[in-house]
Structure 1
Amino acid sequence: MKLEEKLEEIGHIGGRRGPCLSETCQADAKLRANRKGDGPAKQEANGKSTVPRRSLNTYTWQEVQRHNQEGDQWLVINRKVYDVTKWASRHPGGHRVLSHYAGEDATDAFRAMHLDLDIVKLYLKPLLIGELASGEPSQERNKNPQLVEDFQELRRTLEAMNMFDANLGFFFVHLAQIMVFEALAWLILCHFGSGWTVTIFISFLLTVSQAQSSFLQHDIGHLSMFKTSKWNHLMHKLVMCHLKGLSANWWNYRHFQHHVKPNIYPKDPDIDVGPLFLLGDSQPVKYGKKKIKYINYEKQHLYFYMVGLPFLMPGYFNLQSMQVMYLRKYWVDIVFVSSFYIRHFITFGPFYGIFGTVLLIYLVKFLESPWIAYVTQMSHIPMRMSEEENRDWLSTQVLATCNIEQSFFNDWFTGHLNFQIEHHLFPTMPRHNYHKVAPLVRSLCAKHGLLYVNKPMLTAFGDIVRALKKSAALWMDTYYE
């Protein structure tokens, strides 16, 4: 169904909003209690304020764009100008997320990353310093206002369709799947002993459990699945720290940066993998011009198989998570991650001993690593990478991501991250609704001439290597010229 037809079916919904759930970056219960006397703030959050307000300072886009430094950060949300300089260090999503939008319109990014606007707006209220002058457009002049409005209308349509409501039963079934694989591995070990054949089989079961835990923690990290953020935080730590053995805070700060500026140098940490790999078009040329050759980059597509695939989880992610927990003193995460290892020692220690249990843990991480590496990289490495171009939200996400064809196996194998475009446009949307909104997103992309890429999974796997070879060739041409 075309987007225009769907909008006609929904009717005039500009002023309506779908029900909101609590979200990981939201206030605690005490702040909720303080909302009772804040009627005007709530009305303003809904864009329906009828209460007279004090006169605000007005600014041009040129003035706003000057405040884009680490110690001086302004951003615009719904034509309001906010000074977030001092707040950035306390931002639950990490200070870098805000700095990535300093001097820019952050309306769609703000809306994409938060579910309950009424609560989050209370944090914004003391940061308000003014608004855009009446003659200024709502977005920077380089952006297509019709495209921005069409995307915002699409979001309002999806809210009216309740596409942001999570089905808790869906996610508890996935949690049960993980528990079944874990329990089955232990029961088989108890019954048959710790021979090589049994060890290989239980390693396979634990690998499936770990991969599915990765997808489940990804869901919980983005969604507010429960009525209070306290329970959502606890559930995320249980899955990420206790089931995965990785820091939830480390994942949040890293992953949210990736979402707001995907494939943008140097803002997206997922593409900052130098000096081991050179990605995209600009980074290889930059290394080549400076005659940098830490490794023979013309072979990077080959050592991707030997290094990138097997060591992403047990090496890079695991060590970085431990380093961040220690340096930033994430004590709660440290306790939960410790429980991951204690649980394994209690469960498998009697059969393998302490050293053997450690080997089993890292064998499973080693086996899981290619699975996660392929799923996370196939939708980004082959796509456009650039330095900051300050594009609108829709274009930023669609140019940097691609989808993988839908099937029952593909959905399960990728944790529905085969719908990467929809996930990036609407990070707080539960994954069981991606396939429902995909036709509307595709229609909107077609209307504005944006290429909506959807490919077979094996093609996507091969495109990772082809993209690495292309980047290596750019480095060689520049290095040896």
Structure 2
Amino acid sequence: MESTKKYISLDELEKHNKHEDVWISIEGKVYNVTDWIKKHPGGDVPIMNLAGQDATDAFIAYHPGTAWKYLENLFTGYYLEDYQVSELSRDYRKLASEFSRAGLFEKKGHTVIYCFSFVALLLFGCFYGVLCSDNFWVHMLCGAMLGMCWIQAAYLGHDSGHYTMMSTKGYNKLAQILNGNLLTGISIAWWNWTHNAHHIACNSLDYDPDLQHLPVFAVSPSFFKSLTSVFYGRELTFDGLSRFFVSYQHFTYYPVMIFGRVNLYVQTFLLLFSTRKVNDRALNISGILIFWTWFPYLVSCLPNWNERVLFIFTSFSVTALQHIQFTLNHFAANVYVGAPTGNDWFEKQTAGTIDISCSSYMDWFFGGLQFQLEHHLFPRMPRCQLRNIAPIIQEYCKKHNLPYRSLSFFDANVATIKTLRTAALQARDLTTVPQNLLWEAVNTHG
């Protein structure tokens, strides 16, 4: 009976936001997830970012319908007092339900087969060219093929990381380790840790690790006051070295992207050999060791050190295209300071993302991530469906007066460079920082 229900206020719910006491609300029912976060497949960060809040929209975005049955064991017996759903959230949930009934989350097409075949072809061509040819230009072509192989394998690793690729959990984990650790040398555990946090706290300067690149880059003058990264648990110090690098970041952006892969290798090792709890640590380390066996061996098969260095440089230069794409989706979008909130899921995703417009025949090149907003709203949706739902998302944004930004690859580069240049010029003249910070507090624009 309605009269026998027990209620708590939103203020009471907000008190349960510590690691030792974590409650969340989903559709007005309150759940104690304190013990669950220790084994949550997506890690503890996404849950902690929404601890003490209603997390319905984020839960719907990330979980299939089969996940709802596991919530009952976590139910506290309390309901959220005065639980209300905004018109935007109601529309979002309705849309998610319609997509689910249409089977869009399960219809994966033949993308996986095509991509796996392409990756295998590129890897075979690279090994064959290095081992069976003495021609310098063939070797450089092989380096480029390896770089493209890494790009496509990373897209597959991304798909499997979101559980949108294989039909079972076991096969999906195999695809994660194969495409992440073995082929690219980047731990899927590291990806899982950072990427889920990025989705939940999209473009929060202190909660989203994908925007925290000091001392090299700063997309906002808010970084000039040395923000504390909630994700990393340390201060992002804006010192003299940071000011120097940031002052010229619009010039160094593309060169840094060439070597961006080195940072990913370092981050992988820092996590896997840290004291932090890592799911499948041994499996991840084993995969990384296999990568650092076959990749150095391949390089060692080249005839001299000049070719070896140029081979690595060529492969890294090609992967810069992917690193650039990742930043185009967010660097020039709106930013904010503070924790994400569960009641503005749709708004935060539209504000913090930029789509890249391209013809359908280029979808393979972008791996589905050109539909960045669509992916952020429905991260479980296979990439082959994102182009189909894009017009629907655009209409919903128009209905609710929210931005839907879709730029050409060239225009997205221009917007990103302008963002970096604006922050660079502000970093050179720190006397303008208070005014800039006040302006940003009002406008929250990156």
Place the TM-score, normalised by the shorter chain, in its bin.
0.7 to 0.9
Contact 2:60 2:96 in 1 (8 A): no
Matched, 1:189 2:130: yes
Moved more, 165-174 or 338-347: 338-347
The 3 A distance-change label for structure 1 pair 439 and 352 is same
Aligned equivalents of 2:130 and 2:226: distance in 1?
Answer: 53
Q: Where do 5+ consecutive residues of structure 1 fail to align?
A: 1-51, 140-144
Matched, 1:372 2:372: no
Between the two proteins, the alignment pairs up a number of residues equal to 416
Query: Which residue in 2 is equivalent to 1:215?
Result: 155
Query: Which residue in 2 is equivalent to 1:280?
Result: 220
Q: Equivalences for 1:10-409 in 2 at 5 Å?
A: 57-115=6-64, 117-119=65-67, 121-122=69-70, 124-133=71-80, 136-139=82-85, 145-167=86-108, 169-193=110-134, 195-284=135-224, 292-295=239-242, 296=244, 297-307=246-256, 309-313=257-261, 315-327=262-274, 328=276, 330-344=281-295, 349-352=300-303, 359=309, 362-363=312-313, 365-387=315-337, 388=339, 390=341, 391-408=343-360
Q: Deviations over 1:321-368 (max 9, x none)?
A: 112112257211111121223333555644458x88975774355223
CA displacement at 1:56 relative to structure 2 = 5.3
CA displacement at 1:243 relative to structure 2 = 1.1
The 3 A distance-change label for structure 1 pair 187 and 233 is same
Q: Deviations over 1:216-250 (max 9, x none)?
A: 11111112433421121111111111111111111
Aligned equivalents of 1:291 and 1:404: distance in 2?
Answer: 31
**2:321 alignment partner AA:** W
Aligned equivalents of 1:199 and 1:68: distance in 2?
Answer: 55
Query: Which residue in 2 is equivalent to 1:435?
Result: 387
The 3 A distance-change label for structure 1 pair 439 and 114 is same
The 3 A distance-change label for structure 1 pair 402 and 108 is same
Aligned equivalents of 2:49 and 2:371: distance in 1?
Answer: 25
Query: Which residue in 2 is equivalent to 1:416?
Result: 368
Matched, 1:464 2:426: no
Aligned equivalents of 1:248 and 1:285: distance in 2?
Answer: 33
The 3 A distance-change label for structure 1 pair 422 and 480 is closer
What TM-score does the superposition give when structure 2 sets the normalisation length?
Answer: 0.86
The 3 A distance-change label for structure 1 pair 226 and 219 is closer
**1:230 alignment partner AA:** G
3-state SS of paired residue (2:401) = coil
**1:331 alignment partner AA:** A
- Percent of matched pairs sharing the same residue: 26
**1:383 alignment partner AA:** A
The 3 A distance-change label for structure 1 pair 169 and 357 is farther
The 3 A distance-change label for structure 1 pair 437 and 480 is closer
Query: Which residue in 1 is equivalent to 2:233?
Result: none
Aligned equivalents of 1:223 and 1:364: distance in 2?
Answer: 32
The 3 A distance-change label for structure 1 pair 190 and 427 is same
Aligned equivalents of 1:71 and 1:476: distance in 2?
Answer: 44
Contact 2:25 2:55 in 1 (8 A): yes
3-state SS of paired residue (2:173) = helix
3-state SS of paired residue (1:366) = helix
3-state SS of paired residue (1:264) = coil
What TM-score does the superposition give when structure 1 sets the normalisation length?
Answer: 0.80
Q: Where do 5+ consecutive residues of structure 2 fail to align?
A: 228-236, 434-446
